[in-house]
Structure 1
Amino acid sequence: MLSNKTLYRITSLCLLLVVNGVFGVDGDEVKSVSVMEGDSVTLHTDITDIQTDDQILWMFGPRETRIAEIYKKIINMFDNNETFGDRLKLDSQTGSLNITNINITNSGLYKRQILSNSGTTYKRFKVTVYAHLPVPVIIRDSSQCSSSSSSSSSSKCLLLCSVMNKRDVSLSWYKGFSLLSNISVSDLNIRLSLPLEIEYHDNNTYRCVVNNPITNQTQHLNITHLCQTCSDPSQVHTYLAGTITAVLLTVLALSVMYIFFKKHKRDKLKGNRFVPAEHEVETTEEEVHYADTTFCQQNQQKKRHCESETVYASVVT
């Protein structure tokens, strides 16, 4: 039977082995890594030089799929890896894993395992890949002028800032450096929208900001451009009526000028036409001019008739 002292030593040794990872017990440490889509990220092994007999294995996802390995200084990038393709690189000296051109589907849990003469150690990395953020859009609420609002609300400018939702995104309104309001929704299939109500002649600076944990995009408010007072409907009708009247008068004036021009041109052509006075005949209905035309045939038999044959042709002007 073992003494209490012996049992204590055995228990302490077991605990020490567990802490050192001899039994392959995973540590609780999980390192969070955030990266933008399209960038590169390196997951470090925390060792400076790999020993010849060391084995470093990298796994990814809930099933701990093997994606890269180095053993006896030989690197093995597993051929069945369809998630990363050729975007994985393993440092031959440290065993650190580098992922290039990372995308959203590469987000998840990465596990590093080192087997050496001193035991087995593990380390986990929680990698989160964020999409690039679009610039938010600020518009005026079009229903403000179309609806019959009260006098108090008509003195306000109603604005709406919106952006397509992304992972861990928050949309906010700022007045100067002071936060006025913000919104975040987990549903990535909707568009985030945040209203703002200000005075028409407000001289403060406002901005709408969309951000995630590692980046942001800002849209500044142009009050002069967006916040213009609503026009009175009666004034709009008066303006339209005046515009239509002006257009009709212009068309009428152009038509009169065209008719006058055509008549003047016709009279001018008539005045330039030459008509012999001795052949001018006046009628009650229209003016007809006759011209004497004599046709003489070359036939010798009809030569005697040349003087008596006269044909009259009518000319109407």
Structure 2
Amino acid sequence: MWSYFQRIIQCFLWLYFKNGSCVFGVDEVKSVSLMEGDFVTLLTDITELQKDHLILWMFGPKETRIAEIHKKNIDMYNSNEIFGDRLNLDSQTGSLTITNITITHSGLYKLTIISNNGTSYKRFNVTVYAPLPIPVIIRNSSQCSSSSSNCSLLCSVLNMRDVSLSWYKGNSLLSSISVSDLNIRLSLPLEVEYHDNNTYSCVLNNTITNQTQHLNITQLCQPCPGEIKCDESHSFTVSQRT
């Protein structure tokens, strides 16, 4: 509500000092997703700035002013504290580029464009994702039973936000789990038979990328300790628990 009144005040000031016009429209919001280390350019959609243009960029819930062009003069605000040297403002178009972006730069970027033709607004909801690790598949030893013909497995990742973890049999989805919080362990179980010849994979993904770990049943699904098995000479052996 306060930001709305700020816009009204800005508009009346513009009317009073510049004899301009004032337009109150619905803000346009564009969602942008990218990985850490990438760059993004937030476009004003202006071909060339005129002398009467005032371009104002703000960031975050407190609407911190980070960059401005007024009468073609560029001013950067708080850039060292929040963005370091990552910000670049195009003097011809007013578009804002953020290089080597990190998760801390996720948030809402607000653009105000004021000219003699009126005032317009654009919003960019930027989401930055950390690189995804390859998920880890382990044998669930707590579910190991000498009487069972199945192998119990767990696929896990740590400390990931806004991701999904899934088991696939070939190209078919078997199960999936999602998480939005950080600092938790995400695990998904799977049971297969010891001599299953199907192809299984565990996939970690977010909205823009994924990482896959393929299951090696022969390597992970050895008989449980204590299970009686028959060797090639047809003699019986017993694996002792340790």
- TM bin, normalised by shorter chain, reads 0.7 to 0.9
Deviations 1:5-30 (A, max 9, x none): xxxxxxxxxxxxxxxx9435252321
Deviations 1:78-102 (A, max 9, x none): 2565111211000111110000111
Q: CA deviation at 1:188?
A: 1.4
- Match in the other structure for 2:201: 207
Q: Which amino acid in structure 2 is aligned with residue 39 of structure 1?
A: D
Q: In structure 1, what is the Cα distance between the partners aligned to 2:108 and 2:143? A: 49
- Match in the other structure for 1:47: 46
Q: Which has the larger displacement, 77-86 or 66-75?
A: 77-86
Which consecutive segments of 4 or more residues in structure 1 shift more than 6 A?
none
Q: CA deviation at 1:222?
A: 0.6
Paired residue secondary structure (1:213)? coil
Q: CA deviation at 1:150?
A: 7.1
- Match in the other structure for 1:142: 141
Paired residue secondary structure (2:143)? helix
Q: CA deviation at 1:144?
A: 3.4
Is 1:184 aligned to 2:183, yes or no?
no
TM-score, normalised via structure 2 length: 0.82
Query: What pairs up with 1:90-169 in 2 under 5 angstroms?
Result: 90-145=89-144, 149=145, 151=147, 154-169=148-163
Q: Among all aligned residue pairs of Structure 1 and Structure 2, give the percentage whose two residues are the same amino acid.
A: 74
Query: What pairs up with 1:289-300 in 2 under 5 angstroms?
Result: none
Q: In structure 2, what is the Cα distance between the partners aligned to 1:207 and 1:213? A: 19
Deviations 1:172-216 (A, max 9, x none): 000000000001123312110000001111111000000000111
Q: CA deviation at 1:63?
A: 1.8
Q: In structure 2, what is the Cα distance between the partners aligned to 1:108 and 1:130? A: 12
Distance 1:231 1:85, change over 3 A: closer
| Rg larger in structure | 1
Is 1:236 aligned to 2:235, yes or no?
no
Q: Is the 8 A contact 2:146 2:224 kept in 1?
A: no
- Match in the other structure for 2:30: 31
Q: In structure 2, what is the Cα distance between the partners aligned to 1:80 and 1:134? A: 31
Q: CA deviation at 1:232?
A: 3.2
- Match in the other structure for 1:198: 192
- Match in the other structure for 1:174: 168
Q: Is the 8 A contact 1:27 1:123 kept in 2?
A: no
Q: In structure 2, what is the Cα distance between the partners aligned to 1:32 and 1:194? A: 30
- Match in the other structure for 1:279: none
Q: In structure 1, what is the Cα distance between the partners aligned to 2:82 and 2:27? A: 26
- Match in the other structure for 2:232: none
Q: Which amino acid in structure 1 is aligned with residue 126 of structure 2?
A: V
Q: In structure 1, what is the Cα distance between the partners aligned to 2:179 and 2:79? A: 37
Q: In structure 2, what is the Cα distance between the partners aligned to 1:80 and 1:175? A: 49
Paired residue secondary structure (1:102)? coil
Q: Which runs of 5+ in 2 are unaligned?
A: 1-19, 228-236
Query: What pairs up with 1:59-78 in 2 under 5 angstroms?
Result: 59-78=58-77
Q: Is the 8 A contact 1:61 1:109 kept in 2?
A: yes
Q: CA deviation at 1:220?
A: 0.4
Distance 1:136 1:117, change over 3 A: same
Q: In structure 2, what is the Cα distance between the partners aligned to 1:123 and 1:187? A: 29
Distance 1:214 1:156, change over 3 A: same
Q: Which amino acid in structure 2 is aligned with residue 226 of structure 1?
A: L
Deviations 1:226-275 (A, max 9, x none): 112224367235xx9xxxxxxxxxxxxxxxxxxxxxxxxxxxxxxxxxxx
Q: In structure 2, what is the Cα distance between the partners aligned to 1:84 and 1:190? A: 28
Q: In structure 2, what is the Cα distance between the partners aligned to 1:22 and 1:34? A: 35
Q: Which runs of 5+ in 1 are unaligned?
A: 1-20, 241-317
Larger relative contact order (Cα-Cα within 8 Å, sequence gap ≥ 6)? 2
The number of aligned residues is 214
Q: In structure 2, what is the Cα distance between the partners aligned to 1:31 and 1:22? A: 26
Q: Which amino acid in structure 2 is aligned with residue 208 of structure 1?
A: C
Q: Is the 8 A contact 1:209 1:216 kept in 2?
A: yes
Q: CA RMSD in A?
A: 2.1
Q: In structure 1, what is the Cα distance between the partners aligned to 2:121 and 2:109? A: 11
Paired residue secondary structure (2:224)? coil
